[in-house]
Amino acid sequence: MPVELIALDLDDTLLRTDLTVSEANRAALAEARAAGIRVVLASGRNIHSMRHYARLLELEGPEDYLICSNGAEIIESATGRILDERRLAPELCAEAARAIEERGFPWQIYEEGLIHVNRPNPWALEDSKLTGQPAILLEDEEALFARGLIKFVVPGEPERIEGLRRELSALFAGRAAVLTSKPYFLEVLALGVDKGEALGRLSASLGIPMERVMAVGDAMNDLGMVRAAGHGSAPANAIPAVKAAARHVASRTNDEDAVAELVRGVALAGRRG
């Protein structure tokens, strides 16, 4: 079935290692849009660190949407209006914070363009560079927890993060979603939050069946949308589980214009029949 919507992960998929979008990828996406295919950015990032890329790709029209925070938010790109939001309950926020601290990890949360950290750590500074959001020391935990949170991010060495993922997955089974967005970032989100689930809701609201959706991603947090889309796709640098789930795997990496290869080889090829 022809592709009507392309959902794209940002880091290590559309973006090169230097966090830029190549001219080849930009041109391929412009061709797709000219052919009538919708393009949606779907990232673990929040809107504050996605806006630059939406603007760069000219995805700020009245019918453009962003899937943010690993599917916890669906946002109207032009206005920033939140169409759908899933937050951790306040009581669960407090429990998660204590569980993370008891295991010797720092944590950070994202609100209003700021990264609030519970204690200074080099990972927060790296995340600030990655997202362009200032990192500040948390001053009033109770006030931020009161309305619930979009997510916790827990930074650490990959081998320690994997152990923590297993522990927190067991602790919060049936109550919260626990996943990794990068090998050194673990996230705790509201139960059911997933890029694939959010993409399904958005595509249904647009009247586009998932069989006509192409989703491109590389990491564990992309697995849901790659599995759910009729044309699940992955760059050559994707983790093995994502490649195994993908219907299409590029011969190129994110640094070699994998998105351009997939858009032209799958989405536009399908349009040409």
Q: Mention the CATH class of domain 5-85+193-271.
A: alpha beta
Q: Give the bridge partners for 186, in sequence order.
A: 154, 180
pLDDT of residue 148: 94
Token pair recorded at residue 133: 């959001």
Please state the pTM of the whole predicted model.
0.92
pLDDT of residue 127: 86
pLDDT of 272 over the 90 cut = no
Q: How far apart are CA 191 and CA 174, in angstroms?
A: 7
Q: How far apart are CA 6 and CA 261, in angstroms?
A: 13
201-223 tens-digit pLDDT: 999 999 999 999 999 999 999 99
Cβ contact 19:252 at 8 Å: no
Q: Mention the CATH class of domain 90-190.
A: alpha beta
pLDDT of residue 271: 61
148-177 tens-digit pLDDT: 999 999 999 999 999 999 999 999 999 999
31-68 tens-digit pLDDT: 999 999 999 999 999 999 999 999 999 999 999 999 99
Q: Where are the alpha helices (DSSP H) in the chain?
A: 23-34, 47-56, 90-102, 122-131, 141-145, 158-171, 195-205, 223-228, 240-245, 258-262, 268-271
Q: What residue spans define the domains of the chain?
A: 5-85+193-271, 90-190
**Angle CA 235–240–245, to nearest 5:** 75
